[in-house]
Each structure stands twice: as structure tokens, then as C-alpha cells.
Amino acid sequence: MNTAKIYTRCQDRMLGLADDLSAEQLSTPVPALPAWTVQQTYAHLVGLCSDVVAERFVPPADDTVTARQVAERAHLDIAGLCAAWREDTPALLRVFATQTRARYSLPAVDVWHHENDVRGALGMEAQTQDADELAAFNLGAMSRAWSPELPGVRVLATDTGQEWTFGERADLEWSATAFELVRATTGRRSAAQVRAMDWSGDPSAVLDRLSAFPFPEADLRV
């Protein structure tokens, strides 16, 4: 995955979006996230960038870390958040260039999802660019970690032709666009939404293993 490319593309779009957001939009809750507003989502992204650069933690961040990131920036307005984000980004790109462990790609995964989380909260359409690379990263990792005790799943991205096999057998087949697969496997689709996707059989036995995060209670549009 081209971590730097994905990160900077998402950041550029989010910085551009921030310039046009009203106070009401900035205070809009983001359903995909833990009671954050749009502005607090920006605060988390700024904090994540700063923390990785300062080596305060190695990704991924837990809930305690992300809560601290938001709280520490509660005094900043959106312009201040964006300025701090721009300032720290060159150093983060140097981290991407020098750290080869997959976990250092997680900030790019994070910003890609949060861009769509914000867009969904604001009633905007999804941003699907780079979904193929996110799918390769995320579903590839899931396929390698799949328990042999579970039914096997053949996964197909209908728009890109990418395929993954979870387990040694293809007891089930799961088809969706790369974007939907990535969102589903990172807690951005409810269990009902995942179940309603294109399956060759009943996914009940594997449903709770298909997402790295808990399923949201309510359906998410983006």
C-alpha cells in the first residue's frame, strides 16, 4: 500500500473541506465514531499525526490514547487544528518512508476511514479513491489471520476483481465492492448490513469475525 500517497490525498481533501465547514457542521456528531463531532474527528487526526512523529506510541492507538488526543486539542479552532496538522505532516511522511512495519501504515488507513466518516455525518457522498489498496491491506491481513476452525470464505471485490480466501476452503462466498468490503471489515457497517450483502450461504458462523471493530448498532450510509 502506498501509505504516503493515500495519507496526503485524504489530508488534502479534508483540509480543503475544513475551509468551508460552518460552526453547525463542525459540531455535527459522527455516527461511526465514539461520540465525536466533526471537529473532534479532526482533532484526533491531528493528534495521531503528532503522536506518531513524537514516538509517543506505535500504531494502533487505543481508546485512551484517542480520547487524550481529542481532549488536548479542545482549545483549538478548526483553523488551528489544520495548521498544526500541516506542520507535523512532513515529519510523518519521513516516518512512512523509514518504517517498514505494516502498523506504520495505519495512520493512512485511519485518515481514509475518518474522511468517509465525516462525509457520511455531513450527508456527503463517499470518497472511494484508493479503496482497492485499502482492501488489499485489510482483507489480506484478515486472510492471513483466519482461524482454521472457522468456515472458509472466498471474498470477491466486484468492482476491482480482487479476491481473498479466508481459510483453506470456500464454504461461503462474499461479494461486494472494494469500498463496501473495507468499510464492513472496519466496523463501518452494521451486522444487518453485512448480512444483507451478496452471500452464497448463511454467514452467521463467521459474521462476528469479519470486522476488526465492533459492528455499529445502527446502519451507516457511507
Q: Which grid cell is 150?
A: 472457522
For residue 43, how far is the Cα from the chain centroid? 16
pLDDT tens digits, 19-35: 999 999 999 999 999 88
Position 222 in a domain: no
Q: What is the pLDDT of residues 169-180, one digit of tens each?
A: 889 999 999 999
Q: Is residue 221 part of a domain?
A: no
Q: What is the mean pLDDT of residues 136-154?
A: 95
| Whether residue 9 sits in one domain with residue 109 | yes
94 and 136 inside one domain: no
Question: Residue 102: pLDDT band by 50, 70, 90 thresholds?
Answer: confident
Helices (H), 37-176: 38-53, 63-72, 78-98, 106-121, 131-145
* 8 and 114 both lie in a single domain: yes
For residue 30, being part of any structural domain is answered with: yes
| 26 and 44 housed in the same domain | yes
On whether both 12 and 83 belong to a single domain, the answer is yes
pLDDT (tens digit per residue) in 12-70: 999 999 999 999 999 999 999 988 999 999 999 999 999 999 988 788 888 899 999 99
Sheet holding 153-157, edge to edge: 163-166, 153-157, 172-176, 198-199
Domain that holds residue 88: 3-121
Is 114 a member of any domain? yes
Mean pLDDT of the region 129-143: 96
| Residue 113: CATH number of its domain | 1.20.120.450
Answer whether residue 77 is part of any domain.
yes
Identify whether 51 is part of a domain: yes
The contacts of residue 81 (CB under 8 Å, 6+ apart) are 18, 39, 42, 43, 46, 73
Residues 83 and 169 in one domain: no
The count of structural domains within the chain is 2
- Looking at the chain, the whole-number percentage of residues with pLDDT higher than 90 is 89
Residue 190 CA to residue 200 CA, distance in Å, equals 19
pLDDT at 79 over 90: yes
Q: Is residue 26 domain-resident?
A: yes
Q: Which of 17, 198, 211 is nearest to 118 (CA)?
A: 17
User: Among 121, 154, 179, where does a domain finish?
Assistant: 121
Same domain, 25 and 114: yes
**Per-residue pLDDT at 59:** 85
Which pLDDT does position 167 carry in this prediction?
Answer: 94
SS3 127: coil
pLDDT at 134 over 90: yes
